[in-house]
Amino acid sequence: MSDVSSDGILKGVKELSLVHKLSMHLGVFVILIGGWELGSRLGYVNELIMPPPTAIGYRLYEMFFITGSIYWHYFVTMFEAVCGFIIGVSIGLSLAVTSAISPVFRRYWAPYAVVFNVTPGIAVTPFIIAWFGFGWSSKIALAALVCFFPPFINTLTGLLYIDKDATELFRSLGANRKQYFWKLQIPSALPIIIAGLKLAMTGALIGAIVAEFFSASEGVGILMQRFAFRLNMDGSFAALIVMSLMGLSLFTLMEYMDVKVLFWRRHSRMEEVSKKRKAKWSIN
Amino acid sequence: MADEVVIEAKGLTKAFTETVIAVEDAIFQIPKGSFISLVGPSGCGKSTLLRLIAGLIDKTDGNISVRNAEVTGPRKDIGLMFQKAVLLEWRTAIENVLLPNEIRGDVGPEAKQKAWDGLQLVGLKDFEFSFPRQLSGGMQQRVALARLLQTGADIMLLDEPFGALDEFTRERLNVELLRIVDDPEITTIFVTHNITEAIFLADKVFVMTPRPGRIAAMIDINLPKPRTIEMETTPEFNALIKEVRDVLSGHLDGAPL
Ligand SMILES: Nc1ncnc2c1ncn2[C@@H]1O[C@H](COP(=O)(O)OP(=O)(O)OP(=O)(O)O)[C@@H](O)[C@H]1O
Ligand SMILES: [Mg+2]
């Protein structure tokens, strides 16, 4: 998973030049899409089940550049997912920190978080709609519910499993609880916390879209469903691609944060930061 | 004077469980400025003894005092070094060295200058802003050594500090370490598995035997100082090695290692 040191996960893949890599990606993409299009044109693929890529492409073009209808839906779903993410992560992190600090809390309250997690979040959707109504808030609530657990469990694990020698070092230096928390526990746990945030981001998007499927008047989820009900397959697929786009942009954001924050896990970043710290150093 | 007692143990005992007695009835006095080597087989209680002195764990029985005060917790005048370097990966070398100051809340120009000088002293010029992952194992231990010096402690408890390194690096670092702690103000306890090394470095060798962890012998090393490699081949030196070995094997006769 992403909490593994990032250097060399892909060691097996030979390093190629950027142009070479891009053309490889493009080649694979063209073969896939071309094969699909050809299959449709030659009548091997039923257009009602799998519309040809050109039709989907046209539909996307229409949504983005002719009617511009997609932008509002895109914004709504993104907003719901991101709000849900922020709320879910805040809850997950607070629970984790409280559990890490207080063994009593951990023992008697944290198990409920686990029960919560093993209950399929999606099955709770009807309740959420009943409690929060048909507007955006129910989508945000479901997104938050679905995504709070990974940050919770990852953060708790990260905060509790601290190197024994490092703990002893801090004790021998006379560190207080606060120093121990901020200078050792949090930085040690950051890699696994960020891995949890990445999972939460995907979860939040799923939560928002599923809640939209249930009942909504705006958002990419309901847009897709409307197309599907009208058997408008190119529209449905176009909406699906928009969802992928959303997922991709959120994921990219998280990756960016990962690279920024966890500089000590990547050699190139370490060199950069090392230079910066050197430039900033002054005796006074 | 040289005879001022810095560390004193009387009947010091630590039992983790009824059967695991890591340290039993330790009695010793360590004078200021002396260098004590602590040898003994794995699991005999060496680290436990150091932790008791450092105030990191509580004793079960007896007394342990430092500068005539009962040890109740970590003290500023005691510095520790472990087999691992235990550096914080997200901090540069110099930031790691400054950790003791940060924890005490006195990161001023003086502390920074001292950290800088410390890194030069342990031979890490030009690596001040490297992160631990950019350094070799030996270099990481040097950072740990600079951090130890930065604490300003004058009692050094060194638990096989270079045990994880290769033979060459270990020997070189030992020489450098010796140069640093060869100071009448600094009292050192040095844990090692290597008998030759233990004798070579010490004023006195404590030999520990396991189950229960006891200090079976305290052997004075009256070889002249400074010590030289040639001394290792003298009859006196060999007699000392034999003496330590005898204590260890006398105990180990028939016992599994
Ligand atoms: N926290 C602990 N809880 C229970 N038993 C412990 C604990 N720490 C050490 N022991 C036991 O105490 C004994 C002495 O351990 P210690 O670590 O002091 O040995 P050591 O001489 O330092 O060994 P080594 O040379 O391998 O480092 C061992 O039997 C060990 O299992
Ligand atoms: Mg040990």
Q: So where are chain B's domains?
A: 1-77+155-257, 85-152
User: Is B86 in Cβ contact with A163 (below 8 Å)?
Assistant: yes
Is A279 part of the contact surface with chain B (CB cutoff 8 Å)?
Answer: no
Mean pLDDT on A81-105: 93
Structural domain includes residue A134: yes
Structural domain includes residue A259: yes
Confidence of residue A11 (pLDDT cuts 50, 70, 90): low
A118 and A170 share a domain?
A: yes
Name chain A contacts of B151, Cβ cutoff 8 Å: 173
Domain count, chain A: 2
Residue B213 CA, closest ligand 1 atom number: 14
Compute and round to an integer the Cα radius of gyration of chain B: 19
Structural domain includes residue A59: no
A204 and A246 share a domain?
A: yes
Confidence of residue A272 (pLDDT cuts 50, 70, 90): very high
Of A154, A243, A163, A153, the residue nearest A204 (C-alpha): A243
Count interface pairs A-B at CB distance under 8 A: 74
Is A18 part of the contact surface with chain B (CB cutoff 8 Å)?
Answer: no
A36 and A141 share a domain?
A: no
CA of B159 to the centre of ligand 2 (A): 7
- The token pair at B246 is 């005898």
Residue B206 and residue B45 in contact, taking contact as beta carbons nearer than 8 Å: no
A26 and A91 share a domain?
A: no
Of B207, B148, B204, B205, the residue nearest B176 (C-alpha): B148
A40 and A77 share a domain?
A: no
pLDDT number for residue A13: 60
Query: CA–CA separation, A179 vs A174, rounded Å?
Result: 10
CA nearest ligand 1 atom 9, residue: B48
Structural domain includes residue A53: no
Structural domain includes residue A56: no
By Cβ distance, the residue of B84, B99, B134 closest to A270 is B134
User: Is B129 in Cβ contact with A275 (below 8 Å)?
Assistant: yes
Name chain A contacts of B129, Cβ cutoff 8 Å: 274-275, 277-278, 281
Mean pLDDT on A200-220: 89
CATH number at residue A227: 1.10.3720.10
CATH H superfamily, domain B1-77+155-257: P-loop containing nucleotide triphosphate hydrolases (3.40.50.300)
Q: In this predicted complex, what is the ipTM?
A: 0.88
Q: Is the pTM of this model over 0.90?
A: no
Is A162 part of the contact surface with chain B (CB cutoff 8 Å)?
Answer: no
Identify which ligand lies nearest to the alpha carbon of B43.
Answer: 1
Structural domain includes residue A242: yes
Residue B189 and residue B66 in contact, taking contact as beta carbons nearer than 8 Å: no
By Cβ distance, the residue of B84, B109, B151 closest to A283 is B109
pLDDT number for residue B140: 94
End-to-end CA separation in angstroms for chain B: 41
Confidence of residue A5 (pLDDT cuts 50, 70, 90): very low
By Cβ distance, the residue of A165, A179, A271 closest to B84 is A165
Sign for the CA dihedral angle at B70, B71, B75, B80 comes to positive
A143 and A197 share a domain?
A: yes
pLDDT number for residue A1: 38
pLDDT number for residue A205: 93
A32 and A96 share a domain?
A: no
Convert A171-206 to b/e letters by CB count within 10 Å (16 or more is b): bbbebeeebbeebbbebbbbbbbbbbbbbbbbbbbb
A134 and A263 share a domain?
A: yes
CA nearest ligand 1 atom 17, residue: B47
For A31, the domain range is: 2-45
Query: CA–CA separation, A163 vs A196, rounded Å?
Result: 20
Confidence of residue A109 (pLDDT cuts 50, 70, 90): confident
A89 and A192 share a domain?
A: yes
Structural domain includes residue A31: yes
Write out residues 235-274 of A within 8 Å (CB-CB) of B.
263-264, 267, 270-271, 273-274
User: Is A283 in Cβ contact with B131 (below 8 Å)?
Assistant: no
pLDDT number for residue A81: 94
A164 and A126 share a domain?
A: yes
Question: What are the residue ranges in chain B where pLDDT is below 70?
Answer: 1-2, 251-257
- The residues lining ligand 1, judged by C-beta closer than 6 Å to any ligand atom, are B 16, 20, 22, 40, 42-48, 213
Sign for the CA dihedral angle at A23, A29, A32, A36 comes to negative
User: Is A283 in Cβ contact with B76 (below 8 Å)?
Assistant: no
Which residue of B47, B160, B192 sits with most ligand 1 atoms within 8 Å of its CB, as the best mutation to test the pocket? B47
pLDDT number for residue B193: 85
CA distances from B50 to A50, A78, A107, A272, B199 (A): 72, 57, 34, 40, 19
Q: How close does chain B come to A171, measured CA to CA in Å?
A: 7
A114 and A190 share a domain?
A: yes
A76 and A41 share a domain?
A: no
Q: What would the pLDDT profile of A130-173 be if each residue is shown by its tens digit?
A: 898 888 899 999 999 989 899 999 999 999 999 999 999 999 99
pLDDT number for residue B179: 79
